[in-house]
Amino acid sequence: MWLYVIAILIGYWTLKWFLGKLKVENYGEKYVLVTGCDTGFGNLLAKRLDGLGFHVIATCLKQNSADVLTKASSKRLQTVQLNVSSEEDIKAASTKVKLILPPNKGLWAVVNNAGIFGAVGAVEFLNRKDYIDTLTVNLFGVIDVTKTFLPLVRKERGRIVNIASVAGRISCTPIPYSISKYGVEAFSDGLRREVYHQGIKVSILEPSYFKTNIVNLEMVKNGYDKTFKQGDADCQQYYGEGYIEDCINVVARAMSSPGDINMVIDAYEHAITARYPKCRYIVGNNANYVQRFLWTVPEWLSDFILCYNAPRPTGIN
């Protein structure tokens, strides 16, 4: 009996591996829209897809970033200025994209890559605006861009690829960031089922920490200082400045061992080029071997592990 079970498992994993290797054809006839191409994942992905022969429409927040990307790419790549937090910008970008596309041509893929780290700090120091600012880019930007360009993706029976995070599976600080990524997970799962019969595929990337311009230690320090000052005197006294320093040190330790950024670009590429893309791409050693374990075990155990050496307010002692 065990031999049958082993044979079935080997057959299943072999078939899964084989199907995962199959690629779509005619890259040169396909148009891909990627948001957040100023730096980081989006910038590298735009260049990777351009090198593979895709027609890349790269959106950038800043015009100078668009100019630099254009100079580093082939004539196939075109840029569009876009702030994903602005509904007006998204509508204007849609008009520009339709002018770029040949008649009766749609988008093979829309990659919702744009995002921010957002506000950092304990819940008692954060205000509503801190949450709204993060959600507006990381969640509502994904929703609005997807909604706007979905008819063009439907034309090609293409795919939507959304960047989430391991923080969208197991919440940790900064909480506004985690909330936005949980939202991306929920939106993507619901969308995948909604467009199931339309021939559109939806994939989610869940990377662990990788070093990009989305966050740096100076930005984190300034963020904690800003939100700490938002708290009232009693709150500041209870937590103490030592708590803030400990939080910054936690982030610094995470930044000291970032993953290879090419792992994320490889996952993006597979989601766009594979004939049978995955629903989820868990990217990075930390994501696969630590975070996956933490969101699998009972909450009491994951809470204990995550909180054992976590920063503690001065007022607890």
Domain boundaries, the chain: 22-316
pLDDT, tens only, 49-71: 999 999 999 999 999 999 999 99
For residue 60, give the H/E element and its range.
strand 55-60
Say how many residues make up the chain. Answer: 317
Average pLDDT over the chain, rounded to whole? Answer: 94
Helix (H, G, I), strand (E, B) or coil at 81: strand
pLDDT, tens only, 266-316: 999 999 999 999 999 999 988 999 999 999 999 999 999 999 989 999 988
Task: Find out whether 312 and 243 touch, Cβ atoms under 8 Å.
Answer: yes
* Cα 156 to the center of its chain, rounded Å: 23
| Two structure tokens written together for 82 | 């876009």
Residue 130 burial by Cβ neighbours in a 10 Å radius (0-12, 13-18, 19+): buried
Calpha distance 317→309 (Å, rounded):
15
259/185: higher pLDDT: 185
Is CATH 3.40.50.720 the classification given to domain 22-316?
yes
pLDDT score at 317: 67
Task: Find out whether 221 and 296 touch, Cβ atoms under 8 Å.
Answer: no
Helix (H, G, I), strand (E, B) or coil at 213: coil
Whether omega before 151 lies within 30 degrees of 0, making that bond cis, reads no
Residues annotated as catalytic (active site), given as ranges: 177
